[in-house]
Structure 1
């Protein structure tokens, strides 16, 4: 069922078929990255005849280093707020709506998902109960997809979200186009069937298609490591082979341990006794409280040397270092080795990771900024949102003493207090509280009312005079 044979190009049915097929192909990649991240790696390769005997060891011979790579990157990518135009601090209205949809927490899920599988999605929808507070939801990369206009990597032409309804057992799909939302459903496909039989989904008290008040595709893609062809890449896709090598070395080491857990002994010149049936009897029983006594002076006893496991351990450490170098993850994160290291050395070892995180923030920020533009527009914000930018938490770890010293020096250069609080790591909510407390304290000293001294804070969403970013 090719799209051109079933529906007109550009119609909702055409987009549904096209995007469903594309999403099915992407799921394979996303599922693979997700399995590696969770430690569910393919079992190491060994000889087929040995596989049943070592099935237990095979499942134990997987050490999840790629999961650490993802976590080490994602944990340093944290959204602290959004700045509009020449504002010195984050925009209160943008942060209010962001928090109202719990995106201060869900943004961590979005970032981790994008770092893990290459992309994540967010959906913006009007709030029927409060027009000033649109709804933002985080969407999974295996359930959502966006198509772009030919020749563009940012102008969205269509979007698709699909999911399995647990209540009805039906496969649901919504096609997002600038002129409307088209809803479909289909019976859950049988195993091996990839083409659902879609039909129009009837929704009570809702017209077909449902109107799209935003006028643009409300599904936004957040990409990690995008290229010029529009493809996004997982942070671990090019180190999976290294992870497989580590797992193979682990099973070899565990097999060596299994065979050489006890040193094998040998004996020459000794006649092994037999029972009445001619079966050999074990001549000695080994124990800590037993003594072997051999009266025949011609008998010689010895033991084979134990297997040296050091080469296996060195091989694993070498592969881990290769992974650390390729992903710019500090080796001490993966190897757990850190001793007698001063602050400057530690900072140098993490410089690669910090630089990588700052590089990843730029493409991730483009998607997040588009989300904010969408929900501010949906809330009726009249301001020019072209200069919107994400305020990222500083990915560089510093001690409190180092940070305070740097902020004190910056204050002598005339850096505004709000900017210093932001550098300290305060959230936008904390900055607003501190600013209010600081103004109240100054008002008490000057002997006046804060509103009369500093002026009432304007409504940034309705007051055109406030569009210059001045919060007072």
Structure 2
């Protein structure tokens, strides 16, 4: 088994190269560039442009809808609200804009099957970054898959013409470098091969600071259902072809037009009878115009809706995400349609929480803060209830004896900073009210 960064580099590089094609395919289905329906080698550019109009970004909509229910909302350390760990964690959250960083990592997890977070140090301050799966790979710890026993990050710097690689092992980090081009001047297509160590290895305290967000079953949210997307796109292409042909109806003359005029000159009927808006033709007696019948595209439109419903069903995504017209849907039906996605969001939140908390814990350790308190990542409730429903639930929770802080966090979805600000504002309001009452009482006595 590999024990040094130089030994781990080719192992991890080969794994990173091997999955690039799959990651690229998943990206294409999530960013609106899914494979074109009915693609051929000799397809003309005009037809390719037409084909592109037949794609609907079902994969991206699925991931965006689910990701919209997975919103990190802050961090809690232990039970204290003012301990050094709590204050440091809030600074880490603010300085690293972790709401954005974590959202990017979640997006990578949903769209490609895996996302990465790396905790580092810059100028003495901890830095947490979301990394692309095209550039990072790990050898996971068998007992805790979100932790890594070895990790690689490789990237290309177009300004310097160099490729860089970092390999982490517990307590060791080694940087490698190479030219971005081969000896013949062509860009290197693979990560594997011809790396040189750049300086001595660096040491640090702790384990590998690379954390893995892996989706359920190690697949993207739509990856096992791309055939349904392909079917839907093909159906849309067929409908667009039929619709486009309506503008070029087949026409014919019945009765036989003379080829020459009275003077014996050839008649260019195609030019004379050229179709145009407002065109009026004076045809000889006995001549009739035949025109092909218009094709009814309504069955094709219903087929597209059926494909969208199939995809919504297999991915447990509300059909309104793909067909945003809910006039005929009851409130109860809409709530039931969202239930599957809500349960799925809770499952994905549970899978993403541990690596996110690990990245924050490593950031606190970089600051020298590790008092053994539990680091807990907070999330907005994935149910997305309205403010009216939240206030009703808050009243019911208060009647049941729950604390005001618990209600603000778990029902109203407020972050720790928002709770602290709300409590400060409430204290200010109470002081102002007491001051005004005192002033009114003094005026009355006078």
**TM-score where L is the length of structure 2:** 0.86
1:158 is matched with which residue? Answer: 150
2:42 & 2:130 partners in 1: Cα distance? 47
Partner of 2:335: 347
1:68-107 map, 5 Å: 68-85=61-78, 91-107=86-102
Cross-structure match for 1:142: 134
Cα 1:311–1:170, aligned 2, differ >3 Å: closer, same or farther? same
Aligned match of 2:30 in 9, 34, 37? 37
Aligned partner (choices 376, 382, 394) of residue 364 of structure 2: 376
Determine the structure 2 residue equivalent to 1:196. Answer: 193
| Structure 2 contact 379–413 (Cα < 8 Å) conserved | no
How many angstroms apart in 2 are the aligned matches of 1:359 and 1:317?
28
C-alpha separation between the residues in 2 aligned to 1:141 and 1:124? 16
How much does 1:34 deviate?
1.4
Give the equivalent residue in structure 2 for 1:26.
19
Look up the match of 2:443.
none
Alpha-carbon offset, residue 296 of structure 1: 3.1
- Output the CA distance in 1 between the equivalents of 2:38 and 2:355: 40
- The C-alpha deviation readout for 1:95-131, integer Å capped at 9, x for no partner, is 32122212122211111121111111111123433xx
Q: Specify the SS of the correspondent of 1:424.
A: coil
1:9 aligns with 2:2: yes
Q: 1-side partners of 2:37 and 2:64: how far apart?
A: 24
| Unpaired stretches in structure 1, ≥5 consecutive residues | 1-7, 203-207, 448-472
The corresponding residue for 1:261 is 247
The CA distance in 1 between the partners of 2:189 and 2:123, in whole Å, is 38
Whole-angstrom distance in 2 between the partners of 1:257 and 1:41: 22
Using the TM superposition, give the Cα deviation of residue 254 of structure 1 relative to its aligned residue in structure 2, in angstroms.
Answer: 2.2
Q: Provide the C-alpha distance between the structure 2 equivalents of 1:296 and 1:436, rounded to a whole number of angstroms.
A: 93
SS where residue 322 of structure 2 aligns? helix
Counterpart residue number, 1:398: 385
What is the match of residue 117 of structure 1? 112
Q: Which runs of 4 or more aligned residues in structure 1 lie more than 6 Å from their structure 2 counterparts after TM superposition?
A: 47-50, 87-90, 443-447
CA-to-aligned-CA distance 1:411-465 (integer Å, 9 cap, x gap):
1222111222222122222111112333455567789xxxxxxxxxxxxxxxxxx
Q: CA deviation at 1:136?
A: 1.3
Provide the rounded CA distance (Å) in 2 between the counterparts of 1:382 and 1:49: 63
Q: CA distance change for structure 1 residues 285 and 174 in 2, over 3 Å: closer, same or farther?
A: closer
**C-alpha spacing 1:172/1:289, structure 2 compared with 1 (3 Å):** closer
The Cα offsets for residues 299-340 of structure 1, whole Å up to 9 and x where unpaired, read as: 444322112222321221111111111111111110121115
Give the Cα–Cα distance (whole angstroms) in 2 for the partners of residues 173 and 120 of structure 1. 18
Structure 1 residue 418 and structure 2 residue 405: aligned? yes
User: What is the RMSD of the two structures over their aligned residues, measured on CA atoms?
Assistant: 2.8
Moved more, 10-19 or 340-349: 340-349
Whether the 8 Å contact between 1:188 and 1:196 is mirrored in structure 2 is: no
Aligned match of 2:174: 182
Q: 1:251 aligns with which of 226, 237, 244?
A: 237
- The alpha-carbon deviation at position 201 of structure 1 amounts to 0.9
Tell me which moved more, 359-368 or 188-197. 188-197
- Whether the 8 Å contact between 1:185 and 1:200 is mirrored in structure 2 is yes
The SS at the match of 1:350 is helix
Q: Secondary structure at the match of 1:138?
A: strand
Conserved 8 A contact 1:186-1:196: no
2:114–2:213 Cα contact (<8 Å) kept:
yes
Residues 290 and 56 of structure 1: is their aligned pair in 2 closer, same or farther, counting only changes over 3 Å? same
SS at structure 1 position matched to 2:211: strand
Q: Which moved more, 1:392-401 or 1:432-441?
A: 432-441
Equivalent pair of 1:242/1:323 in contact (CA under 8 Å): yes
Say which is worse superposed, 316-325 or 34-43, in terms of deviation: 34-43
User: Contact 2:260–2:267 at 8 Å: present in 1 too?
Assistant: yes
1:217 aligns with 2:208: yes
39-48 or 427-436, larger mean C-alpha shift: 39-48
Shifted more, 358-367 versus 85-94: the winner is 85-94
Q: How far apart, in 1, do the equivalents of 2:331 and 2:52 lie? A: 39
When the two structures are superposed, what TM-score results if normalisation uses the length of structure 1?
0.82
Query: 2:228, 2:334 → 1: CA distance?
Result: 25
Closer/same/farther in 2, CA of residues 296 and 126 from structure 1, 3 Å limit: closer
SS of equivalent to 1:168: coil
Match of 2:418 among 425, 430, 448: 430
Does structure 1 retain, via aligned residues, the 8 Å contact 2:147–2:208?
Answer: no
